[in-house]
Structure 1
Amino acid sequence: MLPDDINAGCAELFDIWCERRVVRPLRHLLRTWPLTSGLTDDWGDLHEALRALRSDCRAAISEAEQVTVNDLIQAIAVNFFQR
């Protein structure tokens, strides 16, 4: 998954959660996304926000959304932290 795919995944989750008005996951996501500079620190912050979202918001998001969050976390780790 490329950085553009990660951003697209975040945008998709953002749209879904806005439509359903689930504030808690949005609060986690919007803390760090959209990225401001795209530097490694931004990606690290997004990675941590998604991990916090995963642990804090399980009841608020669907299984499919949980899969997407997990995929995004993994993609960020592979692209930015395992080099």
Structure 2
Amino acid sequence: MVPYLSERENAIEDVHSICQRLFDRWCEGRNAAALSYLMRCWPLMDSEPRTLRKLDETLREYTRQHRSTVDRETLQMLGELADSCAELLHCPSAA
């Protein structure tokens, strides 16, 4: 048993946590459009750069296409997710 997760593993857990919160929020709000974007790329099958890029690009596309219907709290979560993906993609072990 490994008592501590690596920085990268913690960052991946953050991505999963944010996605789970978005999923719960969008299910509760019955936001089928948002869920359809999220379900294209999450749950993550792995933490490879191509997978993280797809998640980031898909949710950025959702934000662009539905900007007028996205509330402030969701925008904040999407921003956190984008930051986490960027951090992972720029991490030497992610390349």
Match of 1:31 among 12, 36, 40: 40
State percent identity of aligned pairs: 27
Matches within 5 A, 1:67-78: 67-78=76-87
Paired residues, what number? 83
Segments ≥4 residues shifted beyond 4 Å: none
Unaligned runs of 5+ in 1: none
2:66 & 2:91 partners in 1: Cα distance?
27
Which position in structure 2 is the counterpart of 1:50? Answer: 59
Tell me, yes or no, if the aligned pair for 1:29 and 1:49 is still in contact at 8 Å. Answer: yes
Q: When the two structures are superposed, what TM-score results if normalisation uses the length of structure 1?
A: 0.88
Q: Which amino acid aligns with 2:24?
A: D
Residue 17 of structure 1 aligns with an amino acid whose one-letter code is W
User: In 2, Cα distance between the equivalents of 1:24 and 1:59?
Assistant: 13
Supply the distance in 2 between the matched residues of 1:8 and 1:77 (Cα, whole angstroms): 16
Matched, 1:10 2:19: yes
Q: TM-score, normalised by structure 2?
A: 0.78
- Structure number with greater Rg is 2
Q: Which runs of 5+ in 2 are unaligned?
A: 1-9
What CA deviation, in whole Å up to 9, does each residue of 1:41-81 have, x standing for no partner? 11111011111111112233211111110111121012213
Give me the CA root mean square deviation.
1.5
